């Protein structure tokens, strides 16, 4: 089935990342100052080849390709790929990095898979359009599974939780916590603050491990598209911080990398979290 092929593809890319993770590797700085390693490049090569075989008619917007100046005219439907989200976490060897593949349709992340190879965790949610895969996708909710030896083991359905009476569990970026984000968090009733890297933050809200992930610092579409799909499928929301409208994804004709910068956003289990902000 097409959605399982995307899970397999993320695991294949994750295996390539782990091969590098277990070696003595170096890193370079991209034009924007962010790091890149051979693991990013190896994983993206695998994903691009796999998506070309599976869905040859669908454009792919992938981080390292865009960095190299290859941003396709994606129209309203495209795959959005971050082959290694959390490169700083990868370099720090803390395991908090992910492979991200999302399908965007008319500005909405309708399906996403997030795989954390070093942790053996995989999350996915949403549904692939029937006209794209030739059959109705059986994936209509959000799911989490464990991965060992390249195989998905126990799978469970996940959903966001109600806000705990004792207060929120708030997630913050391990590498990119801004003063604006800290100031927002201070306005909330917080029981616990947890720092974690990569798109795992969105998945942890989806899996009822946390309640709120505010991001008042720069991110790119590919950083969060797959996790956004998982969170929405689990019953949560990702809203633009300024307008409180759902975050939208698009690649307009003539777009360049800077056009894929996200507005500040708030990812949450329920909008009721925002009532006193």
Q: Is 82 annotated as a binding residue?
A: yes
Q: Which CATH superfamily is domain 2-158 in?
A: Fructose-1,6-Bisphosphatase, subunit A, domain 1 (3.30.540.10)
Lowest-confidence range among 3-7, 13-17, 90-94, 172-176? 172-176
* β-strand pairing of 142-148 with 151-158: antiparallel
Q: Is 63 annotated as a binding residue?
A: yes
Is residue 28 very low, low, confident or very high in pLDDT (cuts 50, 70, 90)?
A: low
Q: Is 149 annotated as a binding residue?
A: no
Q: What is the mean pLDDT of the chain?
A: 90
**Maximal C-alpha separation, the chain:** 49
pLDDT at residue 217 in the model: 86
Question: Of 192, 222, 185, 201, whose CA–CA distance to 89 is shortest?
Answer: 201
Element (H, E) at 114: strand 108-116
Residues whose CB falls within 8 Å of the CB of residue 23, separated by 6 or more in sequence, listed in order: none
- CA–CA distance, 75 with 79 (Å, rounded to integer): 11
Task: Give burial (CB, 10 Å; 0-12/13-18/19+) of 125.
Answer: buried
* β-strand pairing of 28-29 with 60-62: unpaired
Q: Is 105 annotated as a binding residue?
A: no
- CA–CA distance, 193 with 190 (Å, rounded to integer): 7
pLDDT at residue 73 in the model: 79
pLDDT at residue 137 in the model: 59
CATH of 168-274, one of 3.90.1150.10, 3.40.190.80, 3.40.50.1970, 3.90.420.10: 3.40.190.80
Indicate yes or no: pTM above 0.85: yes
Token readout for 57 is: 């008619």
Average the pLDDT over 61-77 and give the result: 89
φ, ψ dihedrals at 140, nearest 5°: -120, -10
Scanning the structure block, which residue is given the tokens 């800077």?
258
Lowest-confidence range among 165-174, 233-242, 260-269? 165-174
Average the pLDDT over 55-61 and give the result: 94
Q: Is 263 helix (H, G, I), strand (E, B) or coil?
A: coil
Q: Is 140 annotated as a binding residue?
A: no
Is residue 26 very low, low, confident or very high in pLDDT (cuts 50, 70, 90)?
A: low
Q: Where are the domains of the chain?
A: 2-158, 168-274
Q: Is 239 annotated as a binding residue?
A: no
Is the separation of the CB atoms in 143 and 124 below 8 Å? yes
For residue 151, the cross-strand partners are 148
Q: Is 80 annotated as a binding residue?
A: no
């Amino acid at each position: 089935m097409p959605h399982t092929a995307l899970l397999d593809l993320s695991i294949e890319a994750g295996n390539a990342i782990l091969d590098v993770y277990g070696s003595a590797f170096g890193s370079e700085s991209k034009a924007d100052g962010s790091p890149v390693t051979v693991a990013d490049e190896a994983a993206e090569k695998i994903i691009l080849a796999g998506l070309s075989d599976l869905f040859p008619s669908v454009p792919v917007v992938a981080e390292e390709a865009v960095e190299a100046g290859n941003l396709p005219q994606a129209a309203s439907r495209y795959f959005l790929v971050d082959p290694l989200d959390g490169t700083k976490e990868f370099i720090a060897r803390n395991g908090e990095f992910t492979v991200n593949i999302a399908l965007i349709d008319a500005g909405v992340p309708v399906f996403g898979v997030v795989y954390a190879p070093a942790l053996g965790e995989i999350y996915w949610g949403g549904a692939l359009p029937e006209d794209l895969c030739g059959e109705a996708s059986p994936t209509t909710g959000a799911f989490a599974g464990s991965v060992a030896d390249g195989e998905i083991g126990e799978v469970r359905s996940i959903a966001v939780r109600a806000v705990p009476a004792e207060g929120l569990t708030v997630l913050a970026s391990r590498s990119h916590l801004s003063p604006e984000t800290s100031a927002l968090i201070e306005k909330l009733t917080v029981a616990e603050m947890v720092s974690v890297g990569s798109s795992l933050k969105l998945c942890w809200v989806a899996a009822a491990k946390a309640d709120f992930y505010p991001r008042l610092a720069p991110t790119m579409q590919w950083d969060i598209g797959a996790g956004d799909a998982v969170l929405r499928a689990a019953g949560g929301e990702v809203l633009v911080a300024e307008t409180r409208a759902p975050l939208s994804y698009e690649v307009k004709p003539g777009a360049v990398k800077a056009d894929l910068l996200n507005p500040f956003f708030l990812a949450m289990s329920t909008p009721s979290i925002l009532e006193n902000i």
